């Protein structure tokens, strides 16, 4: 299989973005992700992550030349098979990195090699150029309460408080767990760089009272980023100290992924931090960083979290871009967050567009029709620098300060997710996202900026009420790609109430409506761009009730066509043709018809193989040939008369019906006489009746294959 290599850059989204290219280092200079093939992958014992490099056969000959470190770090996450055989490999000979990548790629025992992103804090810090919470002194000021009042936090607190059973992880550059308003237990703190539990704080040489002359050149302020996020999630309420937070009462986890630079602007191996949080019981993971590309290994880590039921919340980014998605926010199942000011308008710096899930306070208090210097107040590692420098002397010497960004909006949403899980531990990542969107307050669109249709600013009180809604949803909703189609399927809700119809949505916008008897829908792909499709289906009941949406996301990369021409025509059919991502290895299988024998696969003048099964790695739009000997016996190409399968009408115009009678069938495919697959449908549970739309077929002759318990049946179909 061919291997690939991806250069990725990630940026902390706490602050408005500067030019990414201005950063000195865009990726790790002395580290790579290496994924081994399953048959040759080194094995780890127990739950450990470190493996001696010298024991790994493909690396032994490289160790001396490249200065490979003595151990590698496994990216294992929640039992995901690909990640079990993916390792972070570090080395000393950084000048030889390109040569090392080439050697690894050319080793037949290695499946994949890619570079590891460095995360950067970007841009200017904030401000440059008798009720619940009554005992938190800073909450009572305009600095500490405006953003909580905006999301109706006080009404939510009257209904629900955070539960210590719910764990919310902050994965960031550092988190000062000993902050008086946080008190994170040592067992919930971890440092990815050192591999040591018990402390996730910034390095000990970072001063906590730096007295900076400005915040742009103030490393201690940047090192406070993760601590600030943690306070926005779960600062202790009513403890007589500092601030309040929407998720107060949940158990905080601090995961430090520090860089090697003194400035505090690098965050290294943040996805390893995500993996540690997931492995150690996190229910919610808050990610306040990202950029416009992502490594495949990191994509797999997030998917493992979603599959496990962990809620992942990520920042939409601070470049002010429209419809320019940021990762990991733009991944299946992730809740992406934009930032708003106190007027419910999207902040000037916030990314926006239909791909963004929800908005939350992350910007400013508006004064005199302009963004003031009052932003999100939260806990910090160092004493106040930004607010002190901007004249708010009441914060002098206090470990609280103002920051802005989608980085700050993200932990507020994460804290609300923790609160909702405290009320209903059964909320899945997709249902959590649906509750947040369906209960959101409307955005003020006075600045002509919007997010996902029908969504808006989170409302904590409304979300708590909505999650109690006891109307049954469609079950087992699934979306999967078959060539250039997305096939949706679901099960009827488990209720005695009568469903009148189902409504289907794409990216929160109404797509179509189907009858209650129909439990599937096919969506045709109309673009060949890398796209995340977010589908939903809800049930409308005869009694007037409407369910929330069951949701399923599917990421579709750029697709390339793999076609096979059969020579002579009619001598066989080919399984495996269709549309696939770049570098995917596809198994093509040649099926000879009566009177013919398969001989070889060819591409141009090159013979690719002589076995009827060919593993082909796609590197471009490819058309190869399957060569047969003999002549097709058309008379034997049809079903035996005793076959239980009926395909009618035949000839057909716009529709055919396939009936199995008492026999279930599990797959239907339609081929051209040249062997090209034109349609493929799979039915995991087996069906006995299926209608197939044939309007897309041109006039001519086709071959229909139907898979039953007794094997494949084949019939010739004439399209009028």
List all residues 6 or more positions away from 629 whose beta carbon is below 8 Å from its beta carbon: 596, 597, 599
Neighbours of 545 (CB within 10 A): 16
In whole angstroms, what is the distance from residue 582 CA to residue 586 CA? 11
- Sign of CA pseudo-dihedral 447, 452, 453, 454: negative
Say whether 575 sits in a helix, a strand or coil: strand
| Residue closest to 73 by CA, chosen among 293, 269, 218, 302 | 269
| Residue closest to 114 by CA, chosen among 14, 6, 244 | 6
| Residue closest to 312 by CA, chosen among 279, 278, 338 | 278
- For 364-411, what is the HEC assignment? CCEECCEECCCCEEEECCCCCCHHHHCCCHHHCCCCEEEECCHHHHHH
Q: Are 113 and 423 in contact (CB under 8 A)?
A: no
Question: In the structure encoding, which two tokens stand for residue 555, read together?
Answer: 């990421």
Which entry of 179, 225, 228, 591 is annotated as an active-site residue? Answer: 225
Burial 149-167 (b: 16+ CB within 10 A, else e): ebbbbbbbbeebbbbeebb
Is there a cis peptide before residue 649, judged by omega within 30 degrees of 0?
yes
Strand-pairing partners, residue 588, are: 614
What is the CA angle 504-506-507, rounded to 5?
140
Which string of DSSP letters, residue by residue, matches 114-134? EEEEEEEE-SPPTT----TTT
- For 427-493, what is the HEC assignment? CCHHHHHHHHHHCCECCCCCCCCCCCCCCCECCHHHHHHHCCCCCCCCEEEEEEEECCEEEEEEECC
Report helix angle 406-423 to 225-234, nearest 10. 30
Q: Are 326 and 313 in contact (CB under 8 A)?
A: no
In whole angstroms, what is the distance from residue 114 CA to residue 206 CA? 32
Total number of residues shown for the chain? 720
Which entry of 220, 245, 407, 489 is annotated as an active-site residue? Answer: 407
Residue 407 is a catalytic residue: yes
What pairing do the DSSP bridges indicate for beta strands 71-74 and 50-52? antiparallel
List all residues 6 or more positions away from 253 whose beta carbon is below 8 Å from its beta carbon: 167, 168, 169, 170, 184, 188, 189, 190, 277, 280, 282
Which entry of 107, 132, 136, 172 is annotated as an active-site residue? Answer: 172
Say whether 712 sits in a helix, a strand or coil: strand
Helix (H) or strand (E) holding 321, with range, is none
In whole angstroms, what is the distance from residue 461 CA to residue 440 CA? 10
Which string of DSSP letters, residue by residue, matches 85-123? TEEEEEBS-GGGHHHHHHHHHT-TTEEEEEEEEEEEE-S
Residue 172 is a catalytic residue: yes
Q: Are 689 and 700 in contact (CB under 8 A)?
A: no
Say whether 565 sits in a helix, a strand or coil: strand
SS3 helix, strand, coil % of the chain, rounded to 5? Answer: 20, 35, 45
Question: In the structure encoding, which two tokens stand for residue 106, read together?
Answer: 């050319």
Active site residues: 172, 225, 407
């Amino acid at each position: 299989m061919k291997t690939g290599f991806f250069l990725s850059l990630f940026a902390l989204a706490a602050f408005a973005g500067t030019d990414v290219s201005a950063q000195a280092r865009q990726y790790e200079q002395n580290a790579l992700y290496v994924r081994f093939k399953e048959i040759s992958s080194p094995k780890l014992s127990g739950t450990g992550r470190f493996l001696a490099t010298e024991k790994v056969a493909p690396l032994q000959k490289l160790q001396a030349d490249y200065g490979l470190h003595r151990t590698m770090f496994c990216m294992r996450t929640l039992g995901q098979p690909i990640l079990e055989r993916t390792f972070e490999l570090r080395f000393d000979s950084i000048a030889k990195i390109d040569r090392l990548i080439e050697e690894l790629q050319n080793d037949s025992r290695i499946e994949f090699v890619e570079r590891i992103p460095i995360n950067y804090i970007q841009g200017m810090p904030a401000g440059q150029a008798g009720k619940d919470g009554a005992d938190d002194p800073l909450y009572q000021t305009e600095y500490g309460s405006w953003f909580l009042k905006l999301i109706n936090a006080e009404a939510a607190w009257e209904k629900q408080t955070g539960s210590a059973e719910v764990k919310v992880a902050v994965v960031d550059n550092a988190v000062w767990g000993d902050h008086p308003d946080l008190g994170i237990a040592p067992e919930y703190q971890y440092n990815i760089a050192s591999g040591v539990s018990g402390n996730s704080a910034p390095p000990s040489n970072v001063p906590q009272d730096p007295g900076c002359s400005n915040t742009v050149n103030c490393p201690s302020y940047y090192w406070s980023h993760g601590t600030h996020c943690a306070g926005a999630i779960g600062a202790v309420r009513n403890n007589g100290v500092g601030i309040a937070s929407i998720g107060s009462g949940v158990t905080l986890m601090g995961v430090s992924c520090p860089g090697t630079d003194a400035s505090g602007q690098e965050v290294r191996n943040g996805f390893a931090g995500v993996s540690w949080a997931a492995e150690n019981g996190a229910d919610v993971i808050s990610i306040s960083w990202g950029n416009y590309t992502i490594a495949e290994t990191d994509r797999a880590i997030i998917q493992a979290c979603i599959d496990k039921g962990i809620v992942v919340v990520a920042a939409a980014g601070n470049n002010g871009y429209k419809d320019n998605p940021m990762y990991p926010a733009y991944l299946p199942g992730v809740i992406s967050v934009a930032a708003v000011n106190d007027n419910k308008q999207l902040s000037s710096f916030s990314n926006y567009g239909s791909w963004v899930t929800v908005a939350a306070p992350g910007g400013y208090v508006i004064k005199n029709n302009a963004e003031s210097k009052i932003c999100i107040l939260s806990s910090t590692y160092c004493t106040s620098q930004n607010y002190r420098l901007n004249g708010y002397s009441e914060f002098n010497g206090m470990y609280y300060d103002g920051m802005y960004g989608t980085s700050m909006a993200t932990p507020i949403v994460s804290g609300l997710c923790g609160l909702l899980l405290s009320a209903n531990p059964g909320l899945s990542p997709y249902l959590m996202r649906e509750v947040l969107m369906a209960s959101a307050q409307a955005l003020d669109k006075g600045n002509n900026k919007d997010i996902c249709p029908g969504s808006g600013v989170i409302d904590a009180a409304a979300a708590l009420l909505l999650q109690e809604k006891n109307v049954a949803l469609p079950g087992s909703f699934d979306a999967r790609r078959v060539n250039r189609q997305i096939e949706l399927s679901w099960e009827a809700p488990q209720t005695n109430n009568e469903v009148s119809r189902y409504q289907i949505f794409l990216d929160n916008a109404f797509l179509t409506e189907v009858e209650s008897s129909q439990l599937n829908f096919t969506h045709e792909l109309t673009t060949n761009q890398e796209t995340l499709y977010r589908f939903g289906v809800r049930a409308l009941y005869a009694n007037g009730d409407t369910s929330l949406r069951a949701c399923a996301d599917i990421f579709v990369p750029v697709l390339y066509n793999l076609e096979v021409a059969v020579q002579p025509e009619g001598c066989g059919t080919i399984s495996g043709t269709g549309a696939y991502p770049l570098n995917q290895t596809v198994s093509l299988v040649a099926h000879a018809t009566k009177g013919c024998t398969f001989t070889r696969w060819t591409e141009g003048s090159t013979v690719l193989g002589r076995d009827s099964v060919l593993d082909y790695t796609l590197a471009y739009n490819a058309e190869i040939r399957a060569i047969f000997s003999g002549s097709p016996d058309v008379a034997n190409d049809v079903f035996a008369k005793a076959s239980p399968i009926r395909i009618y009408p035949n000839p057909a115009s716009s529709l055919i019906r396939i009936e199995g009678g008492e026999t279930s069938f599990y797959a239907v495919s339609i081929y051209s006489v040249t062997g090209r697959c034109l349609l493929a449908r799979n039915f995991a549970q087996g069906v006995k009746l299926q209608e197939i739309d044939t309007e897309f077929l041109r006039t001519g002759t086709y071959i229909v294959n139907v898979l039953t318990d007794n094997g494949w049946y084949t019939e010739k179909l004439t399209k009028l």
